[in-house]
């Protein structure tokens, strides 16, 4: 599976510019003929504009479904469309959408764990379901940013059968080392490939850290981005999974009857 991870410099509170930039970066990435394109967290609005959030939001993902779904169909590519600020039934959600090669939306996920230190919980409504889907026959899962700090969430996906986990994020530079470490840990402990697409640039006083990465089940970085906007490419050789799991198959040796969660 060839992945193009779009580490985008999202403009806070400027969805028109962000949609145009995302479309341009997707077009640029297609020169390398990836199987999957990945966008970061809240790429339509930036991470929590302080003013006018309801007006800036997508409406039930309609603009994203139209624009990104059309691009997926045009190029015949799968797109894990990061997440968007999405207004549904009067509530704002941090919502991820996934499109297959026909442009059909095959999965959606509302961020489960809202980042209280930056007040996300005061503006967004938490999700209530996990997200698993299949791309080109590969079993995939999706989480958003702060979710990666909760290993129970990723393990809940993994025990159902998971080969690739996508992480859409807007992780601050001040804690970027945490993201690097947690991404490797989630890949190793669950014996999966992991693609983390982080944002970059500055929104108000917050600097986002970049460092998008594609990581194999051994914790090795197949590709790693810097701090600025770029498209990161990596090839995930999924044939490695069986060899790794045959060597040390943690899911066979689990003792779930002892785990008190």
Bridge partners of residue 4, in order along the sequence:
37, 233
Annotation marks residue 205 as catalytic = no
H or E element that contains 151? helix 151-158
H or E element that contains 181? helix 176-190
Distance CA 2, CA 203 (A): 31
Fold of 2-248: Nitrilase/N-carbamoyl-D-aminoacid amidohydrolase (3.60.110)
In the block, which residue shows the tokens 């996508």? 166
Bridge partners of residue 165, in order along the sequence:
141, 194
Cβ-contact 40, 197 below 8 angstroms: yes
pLDDT, mean over the chain = 97
Which position among 5, 41, 57, 195 bears the catalytic label?
Answer: 41
Annotation marks residue 41 as catalytic = yes
Q: What is the pTM of this model?
A: 0.97
pLDDT tens readout for residues 111-144: 999 999 999 999 999 999 999 999 999 999 999 9
Neighbours of 53 (CB within 10 A): 16
pLDDT tens readout for residues 50-101: 889 999 999 999 999 999 999 999 999 999 999 999 999 999 999 999 999 9
Which position among 5, 57, 111, 184 bears the catalytic label?
Answer: 111
Cβ-contact 107, 91 below 8 angstroms: no
Distance CA 36, CA 72 (A): 10
Q: Which of the two residues, 261 and 150, has the higher pLDDT score?
A: 150
Which pLDDT score, from 0 to 100, does residue 141 have?
A: 98
Which position among 5, 131, 145, 197 bears the catalytic label?
Answer: 145
Domain limits of the chain?
2-248
H or E element that contains 189? helix 176-190
Distance CA 86, CA 93 (A): 5
Annotation marks residue 74 as catalytic = no
Nearest 5°: CA angle at 86, between 83 and 92? 115
């Amino acid at each position: 599976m060839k992945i193009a991870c779009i580490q985008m410099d999202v403009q806070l509170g400027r969805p028109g510019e962000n949609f145009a930039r995302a479309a341009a970066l997707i077009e640029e990435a297609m020169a390398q003929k990836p199987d999957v394109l990945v966008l970061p967290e809240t790429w339509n609005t930036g991470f929590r504009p302080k003013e006018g959030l309801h007006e800036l939001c997508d409406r039930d993902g309609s603009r994203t479904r139209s624009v990104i779904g059309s691009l997926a169909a045009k190029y015949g590519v799968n797109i894990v469309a990061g997440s968007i600020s999405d207004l549904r039934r009067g509530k704002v959600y941090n919502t991820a959408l996934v499109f297959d090669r026909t442009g059909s939306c095959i999965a959606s996920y509302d961020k489960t764990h809202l980042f209280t230190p930056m007040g996300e919980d005061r503006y967004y409504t938490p999700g209530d379901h996990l997200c698993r889907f299949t791309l080109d026959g590969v079993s995939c899962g999706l989480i958003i940013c702060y979710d990666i700090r909760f290993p129970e969430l990723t393990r809940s996906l993994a025990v159902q059968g998971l080969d690739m986990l996508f992480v859409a994020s807007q992780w601050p530079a001040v804690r970027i080392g945490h993201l690097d470490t947690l991404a490797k840990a989630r890949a190793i402990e669950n014996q999966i490939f992991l693609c983390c697409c982080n944002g970059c640039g500055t929104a108000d006083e917050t600097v986002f850290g970049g460092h998008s990465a594609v990581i194999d089940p051994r914790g090795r970085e197949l590709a790693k981005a810097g701090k600025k906007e770029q498209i990161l490419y990596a090839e995930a050789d999924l044939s490695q999974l069986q060899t790794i799991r045959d060597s040390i198959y943690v899911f066979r040796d689990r003792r779930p009857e002892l785990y008190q969660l």
